[in-house]
Amino acid sequence: MPAVPFDYYAPASLAEALALMREHGEDAKPLAGGQSLVPMLTLRLARPTAVIDLNSLTELRTARREDGMLRIGALVPHRALERGEGVLAGCPLLQEAAALIGNARVRALGTIGGSLAHADPAAELPAVAQALEGTVVLRGPEGERAVAARDFFVDVLTTALRPGELVVEVCLPIPAPRAGHAVEEFSRRAGDFGIVTAVAVVELSPAGDLTRVRVALGGVGTTPRRLPKVEAALTGMRPDGRALRDASEGAGDEIEPESDAHASAAYRRHLARVLTRRALGRAVDMAQRG
């Protein structure tokens, strides 16, 4: 099925793109890698009258380190994250997560800003942004604002973006010393969206106790979900196998998955428990190795 007709714009600068976004408001759709938008257009699930191609905005293709944070331009592709190019090597969790996205073609074209703006509840990068307590920087008619990842994802394919706004940057903290992370995912075939994905980030005290625990799950609700009770149960604890297993048992109680063609709600709860335990276990191993 062909897309509903639209006007195509290829602005040469961010200022020009923002002017077009402002002019077309709710009728505009920015185009980044096109890996989600193009299928949405051809299935007529998106019917913009203006498509604003961001691909000439080189200013959104760079990443930099600043004040303990990685500031990643919205157009940085998944492949650069996967390879840990340049400063991106400072956050190896991105490498692990990006490697799980689709296939090589999708990773070459798809972008971090597009993935967050698309807000698929099963996608890896939104769960990573939640687990790292990242921030999404938006620019629009009212200037720039930074939205915490926990407030950015509002519903299925719905974010805090307002008409006329673009994601310009994603800010993620660079891991502290004695920190560890892991992504565990279950999918039917390599490269498929995960049925459930668990992202764990931990930090240990010099004595080896857990000082910080963050777990986010994808595929278990309308947005990526943090597990505050699991996190609280482990904070201050010695991370032995029993503590991790007992805390992970609670993962199924903190989510409200629905049954669909891929998995029942009960199976998703089971995966949440198992993948949380595995992700926490690997994250702790990594932190203990220093």
Choosing from 11, 110, 121, 224, the residue that interacts with ligand FAD (CB under 6 A) is: 110
Least Å distance, CB 68 to ligand FAD, is 24
Strands 7-9, 69-73: pairing kind: unpaired
Q: Which of residues 132-171 bind ligand FAD (CB under 6 A)?
A: 161, 166-167
- 106 contributes a contact to ligand FAD by CB under 6 A: yes
Choosing from 6, 20, 24, 29, the residue that interacts with ligand FAD (CB under 6 A) is: 29
> Of 87-95, 119-127, 207-215, 265-273, which part binds ligand FAD (CB under 6 A)?
119-127
Least Å distance, CB 129 to ligand FAD, is 12
Pick between residue 166 and residue 275 the one whose CB is nearest to ligand FAD. Answer: 166
Measure Cα distances from 116 to 13, 178, 183 in Å.
Answer: 21, 28, 17
Choosing from 24, 71, 118, 277, the residue that interacts with ligand FAD (CB under 6 A) is: 118
Least Å distance, CB 279 to ligand FAD, is 17
Question: Residue count at the site for ligand FAD (CB under 6 A)?
Answer: 30
- 35 contributes a contact to ligand FAD by CB under 6 A: yes
Q: Would you give the binding string for ligand FAD spanning residues 180-219, x where CB under 6 A is met?
A: -------------x--------------------------
Choosing from 24, 71, 82, 115, the residue that interacts with ligand FAD (CB under 6 A) is: 115
DSSP notation for the chain? -PPPP-EEE--SSHHHHHHHHHHHGGGEEEESS-TTHHHHHHTTS---SEEEE-TT-GGGS-EEEETTEEEEETT-BHHHHHHT-GGGGG-HHHHHHHTTSS-HHHHHH-BHHHHHHHT-TT-HHHHHHHHTT-EEEEEETTEEEEEEHHHHEEETTEESPPTT-EEEEEEEEPPPTTEEEEEEEE-SSTTSPPSEEEEEEEEE-TTS-EEEEEEEEESSSSS-EE-HHHHHHHTTS---HHHHHHHHHGGGGG------SS--HHHHHHHHHHHHHHHHHHHHHHHHH-
Choosing from 18, 24, 36, 199, the residue that interacts with ligand FAD (CB under 6 A) is: 36
Q: Which position's Cβ is nearest ligand FAD? A: 110
Closest CA to 170 of 69, 31, 73, 66: 73
- 117 contributes a contact to ligand FAD by CB under 6 A: yes
- 73 contributes a contact to ligand FAD by CB under 6 A: no
Site residues, ligand FAD (CB under 6 A)? 29-37, 54, 74, 101-102, 106, 109-111, 113-115, 117-118, 120, 123-125, 161, 166-167, 193
